[in-house]
Chain A
């Protein structure tokens, strides 16, 4: 460990020499000097396939864009992330980017970055801070928008149908931002038409096992289910098994709309088992590199940048399946 610290200190010293105290200028000073842009990135961890794809995308895009990336994995602990950010400050990187593990408790360390004139960019998750000047921009998915897209599809799908549509919802982990936002976005999109009724809604903790368990209970307690809305693909995949065991056809007897767009879900879509999937895109590397370059050049950037996200019908999913990375 001490070896690594020493190495990073040496690296930090070299960066200082190279930039020749350019950090005082607050940005545009070293434009065109041939100096390589250095970005410190602190990732949440490697807790899911989505996250791994996210990491890979950032590393590959950095290489492609000729940006030197100092990557640190926080293993889902805030203290690790704070340590990483402090070491980035010591190394005097040009821009710090990070996906905060939790929402609160960042003021002190972000203040240190600000005092060192290092701009901070958030990716994927937001922080909860009163001081807006602590970071320049937040690049990530809009979970409310994702819920809305799912709801919009449903409204269109049932446009010529006046009968009641009974919906069951598999929520994400209770209290998490994606679960709250995907629920409210979906409710917003469907609230205009009273025929859409959410007859049951329970948390499936974003996992397959829970998704299956809850769906089995729904299938027994609800006499008529037309649509399943799952907050992520894993729960939808679990629910599909439950629906099949109940002797019904997923995608036909019960229409399924889900969020994420992972490979396993695309496979299920190609078999007609999921009707619509809203993408939650982890591949934000290219957008992030564009953003940090602009930030470094001193350009004005929007406070909130949404990742480019699509939606998939079964046909599109089947076509995209061979190239799906995660």
Chain B
């Protein structure tokens, strides 16, 4: 729990570099492994006026997960967790598609903007509900957000009437499936949100305050940080990120599927956060790590498709990779390996050991 304050010292930079090093190394290994099976895996060329290639695909399909994981990172930094993001993804897509399909002019920019407004507005409400439950009422985050996770899926199905709503609207298609400056718009949008969040948390005191609240809420309150408001806000932020992701997902296939959109994405997001080196106990967080974690997960899926691993064994394959990544990232594990190799006993009580070790357990 004291890690948040301990890292404020000067070796911070070295630690952060090493925390990003392992996720980056894993991602590189995965990508290179693909090269062995698909020789032109890294090739990116222009196709019909936009960039085309496996790497673009990974970024494109990873974009919603990056957004959801980004919101999740901040929630986890405060020591909470948000299980409701998958349902929020479904609700936002459903609301937007319903509005567009009901309108008389689905192709107009105005209709699409209203649809976006409705979806993000709904997310604002959902996030506030979570925030109030956690921060004001004092319900444990996992329980508070579980309510919306279960009920929200039902709400999404209610909105779509259990059907898949198909829309044909070019402006809406842009968000998740369109291209801008030869790049998929979804990638640019995600990058923008990530950048804004980094600026907001790393170039203002906000990030430090979040880590402080996550590290020790009571002490933070006693030194005068409005912990309650901060905790409430991160749930709103998480819901907004999820809603944006939901718009991307539904826009990408031009349809809203209340049953399947964003199904289990909360688990992928939590995994991405953990792979990125943020502790589930709260406190320090790494946005760069989370982005890498999300990309690892998406690359893993793409690898499964391109290498041709049978669907029956896909989950086992993924589990092994994830376990390996978690172990490699644990300084304690690495130290033990090294100690075995050199047969020298070393104490492993480095300041990074604590939180990373707990992640493996989680």
Contacts and interface: CB of A to CB of B under 8 A. Distances in A.
Nearest to A263: B166
A189 B122 CA distance: 50
Contacts of B47: 245-247
B162 interface: yes
Contacts of A246: 47, 52
B162 A52 contact: yes
B31 interface: no
B246 to A, nearest CB: 11
B308 interface: yes
Contact of A234 (B164, B305, B311): B164
Nearest to A208: B253
Contacts of A171: 311
A175 B161 CA distance: 27
Contacts of A264: 164, 166
B302 interface: yes
Contacts of B341: none
Contacts of B253: 208-209, 212, 237-238, 241
A51 B260 contact: no
A76 to B, nearest CB: 10
Interface stretch (B13-21, B53-61, B236-244, B276-284): B53-61
Contact of A49 (B164, B177, B302, B305): B164
B304 interface: yes
From DSSP, what is the main secondary structure of chain B's interface residues? mixed
Contacts of B252: 209, 212
A220 B259 contact: no
B257 A209 contact: yes
Interface residues of B, number: 37
Interface stretch (A91-99, A157-165, A199-207): A199-207
B260 A213 contact: no
B61 to A, nearest CB: 5
A217 B162 contact: no
B114 interface: no
Interface in B1-47: 37-38, 40-41, 47
A208 B305 contact: no
Given A213-B301, A217-B305, A208 B257 contact: yes
A271 interface: no
B261 interface: yes
A208 B164 contact: yes
Given A212-B253, A221-B37, A48 B311 contact: no
B305 A221 contact: yes
B308 A200 contact: yes
B38 A220 contact: yes
A212 B53 CA distance: 15
A46 B54 contact: no
Given A207-B257, A246-B47, A220 B53 contact: yes
B259 A217 contact: no
Contact of B54 (A52, A203, A220): A220
A252 interface: no
A200 B157 CA distance: 33
Interface in A41-82: 45-49, 51-52
B102 interface: no
A216 interface: yes
B48 A247 contact: yes
- Listed residue (B257, B260, B304) with the most chain A CB atoms within 10 angstroms of its CB: B260
Given A203-B311, A221-B305, A247-B47, A46 B164 contact: no
Interface in A141-192: 171, 174-175
A213 B302 CA distance: 8
A217 B307 CA distance: 10
A88 interface: no
A46 B260 contact: no
A44 B210 CA distance: 45
B259 A48 contact: yes
A218 interface: yes
Contacts of A241: 177, 253-254
Contacts of B249: 209
A122 interface: no
A214 interface: yes
Contacts of A214: 305
A47 B162 contact: yes
B103 interface: no
Contacts of B57: 213, 216-217, 220
Given A208-B253, A212-B253, A213-B61, A221 B38 contact: yes
B182 interface: no
A203 B314 contact: yes
A214 B161 CA distance: 27
Contacts of B260: 205-207, 209
B108 interface: no
A18 B242 CA distance: 56
Nearest to A174: B311
A202 B306 CA distance: 10
A175 B261 CA distance: 20
A52 B52 CA distance: 39
Contacts of A52: 161-163
Contacts of A247: 47-48, 52
B291 interface: no
Nearest to B261: A209
Interface in B58-73: 61
Contacts of B157: 46-47
A203 B249 CA distance: 18
A215 to B, nearest CB: 9
A202 B164 contact: no
14 contacts: A49-B163, A49-B164, A174-B311, A202-B308, A207-B257, A208-B257, A209-B249, A209-B253, A216-B57, A217-B305, A221-B37, A234-B164, A245-B52, A246-B47
Interface of B: 37-38, 40-41, 47-48, 52-54, 57, 61, 157, 161-164, 166, 177, 249, 252-255, 257, 259-261, 301-302, 304-306, 308, 310-312, 314
For the complex of A and B, the 7 pairs showing the least CB-CB separation, nearest first, are A217-B305, A221-B306, A203-B311, A46-B162, A208-B253, A207-B260, A49-B163
Given A203-B311, A246-B52, 9 more contacts: A45-B162, A46-B161, A201-B308, A202-B305, A205-B260, A209-B257, A209-B260, A247-B47, A247-B48
